[in-house]
Amino acid sequence: MSFIRNLFKFVYSKLFLIQLVIAVAMIAILSYVTLEWLDGTTNHNQRIVVPSLSKKTLDEVGKVLEEKELRYEVQDSANFNPDFPRYSVIEQNPIAGSEVKENRKIYVTLNPSGYRKIEVPDVVQRTKRQAEPKLIALGFKIGTVTYQPNIAKDMVLELRHKGKRLKPGTKLMKTSTIDLVLGDGQQGTINLSN
């Protein structure tokens, strides 16, 4: 009982109250100084508007960002986009118009030099209905469709590119045109006459 009484006496004593006021004042002063220091070192409220880097070369990107006190890093190239010049920026993060702090890194994605090469799948001996979607899904275009005598109607007999026969596994640029040679469903006529 006397311990609790002594504790209350100490808590309500002048000495404790003075130390409490001094401690609160010191915490407030340290917090203010710390916040001011952080504000000064992190350039708080100083924002830079990210410029548009679209269709710019890396040399142009370097100059534009250096003037704004920003940095850049090139990410992997994306799929080729014919609407953009080769080796130019097609995407950036953060996007143009965003506000960032000084020395922020801007990530850019470049347009490659051309479409990448893709393996021609093995669609020989498959129906046209099976082959066309597979070729289109890979990024190829379907060109002319010709027919040859063969009992299997609409079965792919061969694939051609620029007149040359293609073997499965051959690599062609994406968006290349592939011509199909299909069976016409007719049994070839046999000439028995001499």
Partners of residue 156 on adjacent β-strands: 182
The secondary structure element, H or E, covering residue 41 is: helix 14-41
> Given this model, what pLDDT does residue 190 score?
46
* Whole-angstrom distance, CA of residue 35 vs CA of residue 47: 18
CB 169 within 8 A of CB 138: no
The answer on pLDDT for 75 being more than 80 is yes
pLDDT of residue 103: 87
Query: How far, in Å, CA of 34 to CA of 41, rounded?
Result: 11
The structure's pTM equals 0.49
Give long-range contacts, CB 8 A cutoff, 24+ apart: 79-83.
Answer: 79/112, 79/115, 79/116, 79/174, 80/111, 80/112, 80/113, 80/114, 80/115, 80/116, 80/174, 81/111
The three-state secondary structure class of 183 is: strand
In 3D, which of 191, 185, 192, 190 has the Cα closest to residue 149?
Answer: 185
Digit-coded pLDDT (tens) for 11-39: 778 887 888 889 999 999 999 998 888 77
Torsion of CA 28, 29, 35, 39, to 10 degrees: 150
- CB of 109 within 8 A of CB of 77? yes
Confidence band for 194, pLDDT divided at 50, 70 and 90: very low
Mean pLDDT of 64-91: 85
